[in-house]
């Protein structure tokens, strides 16, 4: 068996809840965290819905601490603290503890807000914390300082594959002997008129402004685009021998990971590239396609993207696996999406239940998969695949097995 990593702790803050328990309960209940954006700045936008974090991370951290962190960094710290505590705060040498937190755009809210402030009031009004708050490596940096991690603080910036690629890199660090424990995941907070207008102009977003909770509908024939969301998801990965020596329990085992690049198109996905990542993950895990009983799909709710992924899954895994899509409930968390999808796969294996795809009223006939619709599906699955794909042709696939 190929070397894997024990998943000993998880943390999250999402549109469904401020922690893992509330997020998972919301997924199993089929609730939606998508809401109307009612601020003045959104009134002229063609898209006025989003998946906002249900619990403001600044309220959790305290206003004083939060003021020096971009919202993306705040979310990362909240999720990392929960994951670390859930893992039992492992006693590990700082030089054997690493952090990998991916993000799509990092502190874009700080960048835009400080630019507006400078234009309105001059350079002397710009915050001295601007650069540490806007830099994409900020989430990984603040989490590494929070935990005293000195084996490395890394930041994959791979669009919507970032969170999953961070977890893949965490496995690599453990397999390479560079760390015993890795805190890995993704964070994103980019709800702003510029990002929403940009995605809107690209015709990537759903325009169901009058029915926010019905807007995100992966694999449904009536889907018309994704819903932009925000949040963070983080997991603690441990070298299996290290976790066993300290008597740590595991939610699941990260058995393998695969990454690839399409070199095809800046926004259009490619079946061959996605399939390559899935096959590499299977090989990394030492598993066959038939071993995978569940897929936590990337499935953003775009007309072309969902069909492309369905074909890549059918080509590599087959059509036997039970497939879900958690973005139907939280929207698309961009750089955090892959980590949240991975967390859902871990919980499905642990608890023996797969959340149903919300808003799946009429499955797209082009999607030849076993979609979990209506009610959560209960059972026992030994292995699960979690996919994440990003603009630029970034592909990341993770394989988890039962602990």
160 is catalytic: yes
- Show Cβ contacts of residue 96 under 8 Å, excluding neighbours closer than 6 positions: 151, 179, 180, 181
Beta bridge partners of 57: none
How many whole angstroms separate alpha carbon 215 and alpha carbon 208?
A: 5
298 is catalytic: yes
Q: Which of 192, 294, 332, 394 is catalytic?
A: 332
Helix or strand run (H / E) with residue 336: none
Distance, in Å, from the CA atom of 220 to the CA atom of 225, rounded to the nearest integer, reads 11
Strand-pair partners of 14: 17
Which residues does 242 contact at the CB level (< 8 Å), separation at least 6?
Answer: 90, 92, 180, 181
Catalytic residue (choose from 72, 154, 160, 294): 160
Rounded Cα distance, 87 and 261, in Å: 33
Selecting among 192, 251, 294, 298, the annotated active-site residue is 298
Asked if 299 and 309 count as a contact pair (C-beta separation under 8 A), the reply is yes
Is 217 in contact with 328 (CB distance < 8 Å)?
yes
Residue environment code for 374-383, b if the CB has 16+ CB neighbours within 10 A, otherwise e: eebbeeebeb
Q: Strand, coil or helix: what is 391?
A: coil
Measured CA to CA, the distance from residue 187 to residue 185 in angstroms comes to 7
Task: Give the separation between CA 177 and CA 239, rounded to whole angstroms.
Answer: 9
∠ at Cα 172 (178, 318), nearest 5°? 165
b/e 165-201 (16+ beta carbons within 10 angstroms → b): bbbbbbbbbbbeeebbbbbbbbbbbbbbbebbbebbe
Residue 162 contacts residue 104 (beta carbons within 8 Å): yes
**What separation, in Å, do the N-terminal and C-terminal C-alpha atoms of the chain show?**
14
3 state SS of 113: helix
The yes-or-no answer on residue 154 being catalytic is no
User: Are 291 and 383 within 8 A, CB to CB?
Assistant: yes
Active site residues: 160, 298, 332
């Amino acid at each position: 068996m190929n070397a894997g990593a024990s998943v000993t702790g998880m943390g999250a803050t999402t549109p469904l809840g401020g922690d893992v328990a509330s997020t998972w309960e919301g997924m199993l209940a089929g609730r939606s965290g998508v809401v109307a954006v009612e601020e003045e700045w959104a009134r002229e936008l063609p898209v006025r819905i989003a998946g906002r974090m249900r619990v403001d991370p600044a309220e959790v951290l305290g206003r004083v601490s939060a003021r020096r962190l971009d919202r993306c960094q705040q979310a990362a710290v909240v999720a990392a603290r929960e994951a670390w505590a859930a893992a039992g705060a492992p006693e590990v040498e700082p030089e054997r503890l690493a952090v990998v937190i991916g993000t799509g755009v990092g502190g874009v809210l700080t960048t835009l807000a400080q630019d507006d402030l400078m234009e309105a009031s001059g350079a002397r009004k710009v915050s001295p914390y601007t650069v540490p708050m806007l830099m994409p490596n900020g989430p990984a940096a603040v989490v590494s300082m929070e935990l005293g991690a000195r084996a490395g603080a890394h930041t994959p910036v791979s669009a919507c594959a970032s969170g999953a690629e961070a977890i893949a890199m965490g496995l690599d660090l453990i397999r390479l002997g560079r760390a015993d424990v890795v805190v890995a995941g993704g964070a994103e907070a980019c709800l702003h008129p510029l990002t929403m207008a940009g995605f809107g102009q690209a015709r990537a977003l759903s325009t169901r402004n009058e029915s926010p909770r019905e807007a995100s509908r992966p694999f449904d024939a009536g889907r018309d685009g994704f819903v932009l969301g925000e949040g963070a998801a983080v997991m603690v990965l441990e070298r299996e021998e290290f976790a066993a020596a300290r008597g740590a329990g595991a939610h699941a085992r990260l058995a393998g990971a695969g990454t690839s690049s399409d070199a095809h198109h800046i926004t259009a996905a490619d079946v061959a590239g996605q399939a390559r990542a899935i096959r590499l993950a299977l090989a990394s895990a030492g598993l066959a396609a038939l071993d995978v009983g569940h897929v936590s799909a990337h499935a953003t709710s775009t007309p072309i993207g969902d069909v492309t992924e369905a074909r890549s899954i059918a080509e590599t895994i087959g059509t036997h696996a039970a497939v879900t899509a958690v973005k139907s409930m939280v929207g698309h968390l961009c750089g955090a999406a892959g980590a949240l999808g991975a967390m859902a796969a871990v919980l499905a294996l642990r608890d023996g239940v797969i959340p149903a795809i919300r808003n799946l009223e009429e499955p797209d006939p082009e999607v030849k998969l076993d979609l979990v619709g209506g009610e959560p599906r209960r059972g026992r699955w030994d292995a699960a695949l979690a996919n994440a794909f990003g603009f630029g042709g970034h592909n990341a696939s993770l394989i988890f097995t039962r602990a």
